């Protein structure tokens, strides 16, 4: 009686253990195509690649699947040389310099079918045009920007994708109406003093290929271009090794425009904290027109250079003394004139080239940021001996635009 009872209890225990093991097995989700991070970021398989997104769906990184078994999926990011293993409840990270796998984050598999990467029905790499303006406190002047962004994707001979971004046609106006609020011998403003453009691609798989090159010509002409030979002889780019480059090839684009009183220069290149490549160009006012001769260009490195004034009180005295005989001793200080493009119609010329791996066919975002500064200067007084000058300060203004592009639509 006791033996039979023990036998029944043993069978019940075995059945319970088996059921528990089965439930435990069911609780462990098999690797799939969608892995949700605990903060609602996620990894998703899209066609032949994996992409990482934030909670709002914005692309953060792209990976290749290099291994898959019953326990995990292994992903590799070539641009950062790091590996991520997606397990049932944790993601593990291996990166250069590691001595052991590190826990990257917690998450879990979700039962979602693989989503093939959607392809637009037509080429999405179109010219982007945008018009913006700004109001200034206490001023009737209204700066404006006509932004033109021309993206073009092409394929190099080794299959690498090359994205060329051009701002040809972009114009910045210190005042959309063309005339400054004040533009006299005693008051000038608000005039454009400097401009900075920053162009980046929000994709860690994309690297900078080349920045703009500015060459000054005669009569204020400037030729902007970006020419780069891609091949083994140039194995390193400005921010690290170029991706998938193994054949020699050159890409050149150039055009010429006129600058008077401004000097453009390639300023900086690198990668942001989010590992996005960028290129920066700066355009500085370096000349002003002499008030007594509207065609003579004078140097400009600081706002005080706009003022026609003696360098010291002693200079002012002797200038006033000698001016008694010329009649100019009774004139106050005068202001030279900013060049015409500091008032309206400043051409924001910039070209940047970016590189993506061979066969790369993902959507991406080009970010264009334009920062500029406008200033006002005035003088007062009756004679050179009692004249003073000042700046009313400056307005720093900025605009950022994100333009969608697609590496899957080369236009060779």
Do 350 and 294 lie in one domain? The reply is yes
Distance CA 211, CA 214 (A): 10
Do 75 and 203 lie in one domain? The reply is no
Strand partners for 222: 216, 257
Q: Which residues contact 27 (CB under 8 A, 6 or more apart)?
A: none
Does 380 map to a domain?
Answer: yes
Give me the domain span that covers residue 101: 31-109
**Is the confidence at residue 275, as pLDDT, over 90?**
no
**Is the confidence at residue 3, as pLDDT, over 50?**
no
Do 244 and 316 lie in one domain? The reply is yes
Does 320 map to a domain?
Answer: yes
The continuous run of DSSP H or E covering 325 comes out as: helix 313-326
Do 369 and 399 lie in one domain? The reply is yes
Distance CA 214, CA 200 (A): 19
Contact 365, 402 (CB under 8 A): yes
Q: Tell which of 80, 109, 138 closes a domain.
A: 109
Q: Tell which of 81, 109, 137 closes a domain.
A: 109
**pTM of the predicted model, to two decimals?**
0.66
- Tens of pLDDT, residue by residue over 331-364, are 778 999 999 999 999 999 888 989 998 888 888 9
Does 65 map to a domain?
Answer: yes
Q: Which of 207, 192, 188 is nearest to 284 (CA)?
A: 192
Do 210 and 272 lie in one domain? The reply is yes
Instruction: Please count the structural domains in the chain.
Output: 2
Confidence of residue 320 (pLDDT cuts 50, 70, 90): very low
- Mean pLDDT across the stretch 308-321? 52
Does 248 map to a domain?
Answer: yes
Do 56 and 148 lie in one domain? The reply is no
Do 46 and 152 lie in one domain? The reply is no
What's the sign of the alpha-carbon dihedral 284, 286, 288, 293? negative
Do 58 and 156 lie in one domain? The reply is no
Do 48 and 141 lie in one domain? The reply is no
CATH number at residue 64: 2.40.128
Q: What is the pLDDT of residue 258?
A: 83
Do 105 and 208 lie in one domain? The reply is no
Q: What is the pLDDT of residue 212?
A: 75
CATH number at residue 234: 2.70.240
Do 240 and 95 lie in one domain? The reply is no
Does 21 map to a domain?
Answer: no
Does 121 map to a domain?
Answer: no
Phi, psi of 388 (to 5 degrees): -135, 165
Does 6 map to a domain?
Answer: no
- Tens of pLDDT, residue by residue over 170-186, are 999 999 888 999 999 99
Q: Tell which of 82, 109, 136 closes a domain.
A: 109
Do 178 and 145 lie in one domain? The reply is yes
Q: 115 or 164, which is more confident? A: 164
Confidence of residue 46 (pLDDT cuts 50, 70, 90): confident
Q: 137 or 282, which is more confident? A: 282
Does 15 map to a domain?
Answer: no
Region of poorest pLDDT, from 157-171, 320-334, 352-366:
320-334
């Amino acid at each position: 009686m006791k033996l039979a009872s023990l036998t029944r209890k043993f069978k019940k225990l075995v059945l319970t253990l088996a059921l528990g093991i089965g439930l435990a097995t069911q609780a462990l989700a098999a690797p799939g195509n969608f892995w949700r991070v605990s903060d609602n970021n996620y990894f998703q398989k899209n066609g032949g690649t994996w992409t990482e997104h934030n909670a709002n769906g914005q692309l953060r990184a792209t990976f290749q699947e290099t291994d898959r078994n019953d326990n995990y999926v292994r992903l590799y990011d070539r641009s950062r040389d790091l590996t991520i293993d997606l397990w049932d409840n944790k993601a593990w990270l291996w990166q250069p310099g590691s001595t052991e796998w590190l826990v990257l984050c917690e998450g879990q598999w979700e039962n979602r079918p693989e989503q093939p990467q959607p392809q637009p029905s037509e080429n999405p790499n179109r010219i982007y045009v945008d018009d913006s303006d700004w109001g200034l406190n206490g001023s009737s002047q209204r700066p404006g920007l006509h932004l033109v962004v021309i993206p073009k994707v092409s394929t190099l001979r080794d299959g690498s994708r090359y994205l060329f971004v051009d701002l040809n046609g972009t114009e910045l106006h210190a005042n959309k109406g063309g005339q400054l609020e004040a533009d006299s011998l005693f008051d000038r403003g608000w005039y454009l003093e400097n401009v900075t453009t920053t162009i980046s691609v929000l994709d860690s798989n994309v690297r900078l290929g080349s920045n703009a090159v500015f060459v000054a010509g005669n009569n204020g002409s400037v030729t902007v271009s970006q020419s780069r030979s891609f091949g083994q002889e140039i194995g390193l780019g400005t921010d690290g090794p170029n991706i998938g480059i193994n054949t020699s090839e050159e890409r050149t684009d150039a055009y010429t425009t006129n600058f008077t009183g401004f000097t453009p220069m390639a300023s900086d290149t690198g990668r942001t904290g989010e590992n996005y490549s960028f290129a920066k160009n700066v355009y500085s006012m370096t000349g002003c027109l002499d008030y007594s001769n509207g065609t003579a260009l004078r140097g400009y490195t600081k706002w005080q250079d706009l003022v026609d004034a003696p360098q010291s009180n002693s200079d002012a005295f002797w200038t006033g003394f000698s001016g008694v005989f010329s009649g100019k001793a009774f004139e106050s200080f005068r202001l030279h004139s900013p060049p015409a493009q500091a008032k309206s119609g400043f051409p924001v010329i910039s070209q940047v080239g970016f590189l993506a791996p061979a066969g790369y066919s993902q959507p991406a975002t080009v970010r264009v940021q334009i920062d500029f500064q406008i200033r006002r200067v005035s003088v007062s007084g009756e004679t050179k001996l009692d004249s003073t000058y000042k700046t009313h300060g400056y307005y720093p203004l900025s605009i950022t635009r994100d333009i969608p592009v697609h590496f899957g639509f080369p236009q060779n």
